[in-house]
Structure 1
Amino acid sequence: MTTTGPALDPELRALLADLPLTSGLDPDTLALLRRLPPTPVDSLPTRRRVERRDITVPAGDGTPIPLSVLSPADPGPAAAPCVYWMHGGGMIMGDRFSQIDIPLEWLDEFGAVVVSVDYRLAPEATGGTLVDDCYRGLLRIAGHAAELGIDPDRIVVAGASAGGGLAAGTALLARDLGGPAIAAQVLIGPMLDHRNASTSSLQHSGAPGVWTHEKNEFGWRAVLGEPPHDAVSAYVSPALADDLSGLPTCYVDTGSAEVFRDEATEYATRIWAAGGQAELHVWAGGFHGFDALYPQARVSASARRTRTDWLTRVLGADRSSCPPSTALPLPATP
């Protein structure tokens, strides 16, 4: 095994050159990052008019968990597919509007209702709290599908990075608890394995990067406490699941030059081995989060288009019903 990972895509490397990067994280840096202003959701462009509705669901301890429901303002006559979105941020930062432009593309393309959950973050919340917050949000939207204009047979769980791991854990919970039917899962550069010992993780150690071995260790330590970690739940670290059978069809993508490459690839392989269906894409030269940070890059555009094509096919969605138009602001509706 070499400790040098694959080279970055040249276009991505040029774009990344101006981004200040570090190899590690510490509590002070995390506090600074959390104080950065979030992306104002009202400024996100979309080709369709969107209505926003904010609701809450009680967590297991009664804490209200916010959900934002983003729906086409001009819905068709039939109930719409739903994308239940879990944001990235290493389980230690971000909010329900982080990377929201990714699922909003699916609202644009085929009129999906996008529901994004503000699960609690580590280290303030630990263990299974984060995935349980996500699962309770899924129960809420499935139980009120008609009210939200959602087709209960076409609910997709999706997420990027930490959100991809939480989406995988939510799908496992739904399977094991007899929870809502899930039509598909979309895992984008997913954070699946707390052991942080894969070849790709070790190849991204000791050098600055968007998400490195050291940053990954910091994130998992915030969730699980100091190692050694005993009796870690597979719902928290889905790579630990003994059985990956009976899961909804799965789309997994990752970059070849990122820390989660190998755990994402292994997860898809194990779904196939269990008799399930998965589609796997490893984008050459992609670093962690490349398509979210630089959607204008050619490899990013290919990754996002391929993902959307798969989801359209799996859901049997009709893209022709979405009229093309110029970009419109996303209004915030109380």
Structure 2
Amino acid sequence: MSPLRQHIFFPLCLITSILSGLVASQSQTQLVGCETLGCSSTGCTLGNATNAFLGATSFNASLPTSTSSSANQVELTWTVGALAQSPPQTSGSSSSTKDTLFTKNFYLGYPPTLNLTTDSTGGCALFFEGIARSIPLNGSEYGSMTCQSALGSQCVNDLLTQAEGLINTKSNTVCADLQSQMQPSPPSSCLGVAMVTWGSVVVKDLTNSQPIPQTSCHPSVAGAGYDVALVETQTVRSEDVSSDPAPFFYSLTPVLSVFYSDTQTNSAKAYLSCLKVIDAAAGSVTTTTQTSGALDLSMGRASTMQLLSLMLAAILLRVLRWV
């Protein structure tokens, strides 16, 4: 090979190899439903609720501690379940279903060894309930969507940055302050989705999570070895949804998980998950949890990288022929 060819060939090979490696190393989780989580014919029973539909995903969190300069790396999961409950029928009662209660439950999954109350670690979950039913599903009502395709990649990135920047570890009301500051002020890149405000944003403290009983159905994608805690419950009655529960059942709810250290500044880490139930008939659909400060791209962005890698390879061949 001539010196000129070598001068061009090796840098281009290195770039192509790096891009191919990035594509191959994408950490993606699958948003799965009852068909893979061990539901019975009646659904998945957790505590006192039997969820007819489920949607579950995971994300790798970096939890700051006060006893070590290095963070505690752990896989956490989010699961959403949906069910309908009709009032019990008594002799002579009307058969009207206007009082049917539709419910969505959100469960945090975590290893039993994890204790969020130790090491001065704080944690919050923000549920963007106000925009859930307004997010276009673009034909994916019974399947899944990524946060990037639903909100836009720039909105996702800006939202994570905003959350981390607002954490004030000197405050005794970190979670409430975060909610009150974020709800009325979406990033400008999110205004196409959120309009003027996010609507209702519900915040929950994650440091007091308590495991609930599981049956043969284990809703965490991490398996039977994980505990699950009920963090948030949403309800609507049939008369409030015009007897059509689909927009509520199958809506996509962005959930922002934030962890921080009470003793370390600039320690906050935010993770965004977009949750919806998966109908068994829809099969399994891939989605991704976008994390701040980590390489965790959506399928769309990964496909872009693959395309770029192929384009560079084509350029390399053309250059070699030209030289």
Query: Which bin holds the TM-score, normalised by the shorter protein?
Result: under 0.3
Q: TM-score, normalising length from structure 2?
A: 0.23
Say which structure, 1 or 2, has more relative contact order (CA 8 Å, 6+ apart).
2
Kindly name which structure, 1 or 2, has the bigger radius of gyration based on alpha carbons: 2
TM value normalised by structure 1? 0.23
More helix by percentage = 1
Greater percentage in strand? 2
